Amino acid sequence: MATANDTVDFRFASDQSLLVYFDQKISPEAHRRIRALLHLLALEPVAGVRNLHPAYCSVLVDFDALKFAHGELEAILHGYVSRLDEVRLPDPREFEIPTCYGGEHGPDLNEVARLHGISPDQVIHLHSAAAYTVYFLGFVPGFGYLGELPETLRTPRLASPRPTTPAGSVGIADSQTGIYPFAAPGGWRLIGRTPFAMFRHERENMSLLNVGDRVRFVPISSAQFSALLEA
Amino acid sequence: MSSILVESPGLLTTVQDLGRPGFGHIGVSPSGAADPLSLRLGNRLVGNAENAAALEMTLVGGTFIFRQDAIVAVTGSDFGPTLDNVAVRHGEAIEVHANQTLRLGATRSGARCYLCVSGGISVPMFLGSTSTHLLSGLGGFEGRALRKGDILKIGAASGPFRKKRIAPHVMKHLSSRNVLRCTPGPQADWFPEFVQGSFYSSRYRVGEQSNRMGLRLEGPPLPLEARPMITEGVSLGAIQVPSGGLPIILFVDQQTTGGYPKIANVISADLHCVGQLRPRDEIHFAKATFEEARALLIEQESMLASPGAIVE
């Protein structure tokens, strides 16, 4: 069921999907190859491939089983994978995300600080000093998985997820950070909130963030938050 | 343009078509009808393309007043349809006259019933689909479930009324089943043989908090060794096992990625059955190979595609 060549490992996920693993850990090289595969598949789409779900080190390829079987798709994808080194990727776009830390907007900030034995201001400083890569978008529309958090901030998820998390909330979980585009249930620890709308269907680029972008968080006051709030 | 007044929305009624594939890379799940076979057949009964937008009702149906004449079909589970308080047939094309009231009640079989109208429900397309994704408030009718007083616009009818119904052998195929066939999930090898044995021999109950995103199952928890898992893409019908050991079937409004191991995946030919499961229904899982799953899908599609699936 799983076959390997030098570079990727294929695994059947369902009768109509195939997982392509580039690594078994989060790595910049796997990320580059995933971006390259998405880029190639966007330029030369495969008829019968219905959906692509990129993640940290894998891409789930959802296909129409009436068109082909797993083995045939594997053969086609091998052809793409063998060309990944030739792909010239565009330079990453850079974003600054204004974020109001703590208080009502970041209800877990103090707890995160306590868990690591540092002050809330140090959490804010560490979180906003780092530059993050958008490894992929997933979970809900426009939710970017940003990595990687500075070692000091790595924090497990809440034992029991919140039934709802306000849109714009900035959370951390393990080595990742991310922004909730919609009010959604969630177990990430919330340290702040951005007034930016991360996903808007009427905007040309619906999702503010895309795979491969670089992101920095910029601390703002709660007055600035209110002034910048995008409904 | 013709329209329908929502006199009562029912428990949870949304606009759905066959879904929105192709946007997994921005985190957009496919959505679409929970029982796509019933939606496709209903649309064929009224002369629509199979993918036309229709109403999906859940457990308790709504009441709809037609402003103009229309051709409709009610498919999926039997919600006891009546037209001006006279029972009408399920799974058949029905002629509705202006100012008549179509009422759907509580389900007599599975979870979902579809109301298809000739010309389709007219709502704006979002990323190529009219399906509603409730969590993000995108697609469908204003991105939400219908409310009392909503007015739904209907496209132009595609032809005159013709008496048509779903063939008995197709109705039989659609009837509810409590055995879901599964192929191994991508982390099946994380679950030792005895755990898999327990998974395939246990009866599970569909939990009350189940919805279009996922069905939470109640039953004997599966013992699971704690092991870090890197978040990856999840497929429709994936059965993930969180640390508590109670499986969750990821469904049409699913999250696009997840960080729990998947023991199995419901086969495509049985996904329509998942869409008809009600809270408290009892189910169990049976093993299928990938070859069997594909053959069953091809067989199901050829049955649906045959002209004999709809009879006059």
pLDDT in tens, chain B (312 residues): 799 999 999 999 999 999 999 999 999 999 999 999 999 999 999 999 999 999 999 999 999 999 999 999 999 999 999 999 999 999 999 999 999 999 999 999 999 999 999 999 999 999 999 999 999 999 999 999 999 999 999 999 878 999 999 999 999 999 888 999 999 999 999 999 999 999 999 999 999 999 999 999 999 999 988 788 899 999 999 999 988 899 999 999 999 999 899 999 999 999 999 999 999 999 999 999 999 999 999 999 999 999 899 999
- Could you tell me if B154 and B17 lie in one domain? yes
ipTM above 0.85, yes or no: yes
Cα separation of A76 and A79, whole Å?
A: 5
Retrieve residue B35's tokens.
């029982």
- Nearest-by-Cβ selection for A138 from B136, B230, B257: B257
Asked whether residue B146 falls in the same domain as residue B281, the answer is no
Dist CA B247 CA B216 (whole Å): 7
* Distant-in-sequence, close-in-space partners of B222: CB < 8 Å, separation ≥ 6: B191, B195, B198, B199, B241, B245, B246, B247, B263
Establish if A182 touches chain B: CB-CB under 8 angstroms.
yes
- Contact indicator for B30, B236 with CB cutoff of 8 Å: yes
Distance from CA of A220 to the nearest CA of B (A): 26
Tokens for B307, please give them: 């002209």
Residues A126, A21 share a domain: no
Q: What is the mean pLDDT of residues A67-86?
A: 95
On whether both B9 and B121 belong to a single domain, the answer is yes
pLDDT, mean of residues A189-199? 97
How many angstroms away from the CA of A183 is the closest CA of chain B? 8
- Quick one: B184 and B260 in the same domain? yes
Question: Does B22 reside within a domain?
Answer: yes
From chain B, pick out residues whose CB is under 8 angstroms from the CB of A55.
230-233, 257
Whether the CB-CB separation of A170 and A149 falls below 8 Å is answered with no
Q: Which pLDDT score is estimated for A220?
A: 97
Looking at the structure, tell me whether residues B208 and B111 fall in a common domain: no
pLDDT at residue number B292:
98
Domain boundary among B164, B187, B219: B164
The answer, yes or no, to whether residue A5 has pLDDT greater than 60, is no
B184 contacts A1? CB cut-off 8 A: yes
Q: What is the pLDDT of residue A84?
A: 94
| A189 CB-contact burial (10 Å; exposed 0-12 / middle 13-18 / buried 19+) | buried
Is-contact B233 A53, C-beta < 8 A? yes
A141 with B184: Cβ contact below 8 A: no
Is residue B220 one of the residues assigned to a domain? yes
CA atoms within 13 A on the CB side of B125: 8
Q: Are residues A211 and A126 in the same domain?
A: yes
**How far, in Å, are A34, A75, A77, B231, B264 from residue A56 at the CA level?**
8, 23, 19, 7, 22
pLDDT tens digits, residue range B130-169? 999 999 999 999 999 999 999 999 999 878 999 999 999 9
Residues with Cβ within 8 Å of residue A108, at least 6 apart in sequence? A158, A171, A189, A190, A191
Mark whether B51 and B118 lie in a shared domain. Answer: yes
Contact status, residue A77 vs residue A61, Cβ threshold 8 Å: yes
- Of A58, A86, A114, the domain-final residue: A86
Q: Are residues A56 and A162 in the same domain?
A: no
Does residue A193 share a domain with residue A117? yes
Q: Which of A145, A120, A143, A144 is nearest to A219 (CA)?
A: A120
In a domain, B100, yes or no: yes
The reply to whether B145 and B186 lie within a common domain is no
Per DSSP, helices labelled H in A62-183 are 70-81, 109-116, 120-129
Q: Are residues B156 and B200 in the same domain?
A: no
Residues whose CB falls within 8 Å of the CB of residue A44, separated by 6 or more in sequence, listed in order: A80
pLDDT of residue A231: 62
Residues of A (27-46) whose Cβ lies below 8 Å from B: 38
Q: Are residues A115 and A161 in the same domain?
A: yes
* The amino acid at B59: L
B174 in a structural domain: no
Angle at B211 between CA B286 and CA B172, to 5 degrees: 50
Mark which of A54, A86, A118 sits at the end of a domain: A86
Q: Is B170 within a domain?
A: no
- What's the token pair of residue B8? 């009562």
* B255 at A interface, C-beta within 8 A: yes
Residue indicated by tokens 């059955």:
B273
- Of B107, B136, B164, the last residue of a domain is B164
Using CA atoms, how far apart are residues B283 and B201, in angstroms rounded to an integer? 10
Distance between terminal CA atoms of chain B? 29
Q: What local confidence, expressed as pLDDT, does residue A2 receive?
A: 41
Interface residue B91 vs chain A (CB under 8 A)? no
Last residue of a domain, one of A40, A65, A86: A86
Domain with A21, as residue range(s), is 3-86
Is the same domain home to A82 and A119? no
B 135-154: CB under 8 A from A: 135-138
Pair (A146, A206) in one structural domain: yes
**Where does a domain end: B136, B164, B192?**
B164
Domain count for chain B, please give it.
Answer: 2
A159 and A182 together in one domain: yes
Task: Give the DSSP per-residue string, A166-211.
Answer: -TTEEEEEBTEEEE-SS-EEE-SEEEEE-SS-SB-TTSSSSBS--T
Look up residue B46 and give its two tokens: 């009224």
Statement: residue A57 has pLDDT above 80: yes
Same domain, B248 and B114: no
Rounded to the nearest angstrom, the gap between the alpha carbon of residue B102 and the centroid of all alpha carbons in its chain is: 21
Q: Do B26 and A210 touch (CB under 8 A)?
A: yes
Task: Write out chain A residues lying below 8 Å of B268, CB-based.
Answer: 14-16, 65
Dig out the tokens for A45 from the structure. 């789409």
* pLDDT on residue A185: 86
**DSSP helix/strand/coil, A70:** helix
Residue A158 pLDDT = 87
* CATH, residue B225: 2.40.100.10
Total domain count for chain A?
A: 2
Residues B41 and B190 in one domain: no
Specify the CATH number for the domain of residue A10: 3.30.1360.40
Q: What angle do CA B216, B217, B219 make, to 5 degrees?
A: 150
Note whether B134 and B230 are same-domain residues: no
A126 plus A198 within the same structural domain = yes
Q: Is B135 in Cβ contact with A19 (below 8 Å)?
A: no
Please tell me whether residues A36 and A107 are part of one structural domain.
no
What pLDDT is recorded for position B158? 79
pLDDT of residue B177: 87
Residue B69: other Cβ atoms inside 10 A: 15
Q: Averaged over A47-59, what is the pLDDT? A: 97
Same domain, B207 and B91: no
**Which residues, other chains included, contact A141 with Cβ-Cβ below 8 Å and sequence gap of 6+?**
A181, A182, A199, A206, A207, B23, B26, B27, B28, B133, B136, B138
For residue B88, the enclosing domain spans 2-164
pLDDT of residue A4: 40
Check whether residue A81 and residue A111 sit in a common domain: no
A196 shares its domain with A224: yes
A 50-109 residues inside an 8 A Cβ radius of B? 50-60, 62, 65-66, 69-70
Q: Quickly state the pLDDT bin for A176 (edges 50, 70, 90).
A: very high
Residue B26 lies in a domain: yes
Q: Render A4-40 in DSSP notation, one character per residue.
A: E-SS-EEEEEETTEEEEES-SS--HHHHHHHHHHHHH
Residue B171 lies in a domain: no
